């Protein structure tokens, strides 16, 4: 990865992020809690985790949309 994504959330040592095309992906965190982008991976949750991953990706997408909406309102 060349640079950190603009939008990401961290929960339980997992980073939920959006790439430039708005596609969610994950990464782990370093011991200090910062994202370790070298460990980026595509989500492939098992049956137990699919709801959790879906909720986190939904919240991440909402945060990105609200940020973009607020940014566009102040530019107009």
d(CA 14, CA 33): 9
Q: Tell me, what's the pLDDT at 27?
A: 94
- Verdict on whether the full-model pTM lies above 0.85: no
Mean pLDDT of 3-16: 86
What confidence tier does 16 reach under pLDDT thresholds 50, 70, 90?
very high
Mean pLDDT of 4-18: 88
Mean pLDDT of 6-13: 88
Q: Length of the chain in residues, anyone?
A: 76
Mean pLDDT of 8-32: 90
**Contact indicator for 17, 35 with CB cutoff of 8 Å:** yes
More confident residue, 63 or 71: 63
**Contact indicator for 1, 37 with CB cutoff of 8 Å:** yes
* Unique residue bearing structure tokens 């997408």: 61
């Amino acid at each position: 990865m060349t640079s950190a994504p603009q939008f990401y959330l961290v929960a339980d040592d997992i980073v939920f992020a959006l790439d430039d095309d708005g596609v969610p992906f994950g990464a782990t965190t370093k011991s200090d809690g910062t994202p370790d982008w070298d460990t980026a991976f595509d989500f492939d949750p098992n049956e137990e985790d699919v709801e959790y991953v879906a909720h986190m990706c939904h919240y991440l997408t909402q945060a990105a949309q609200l940020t973009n909406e607020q940014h566009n309102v102040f530019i107009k």
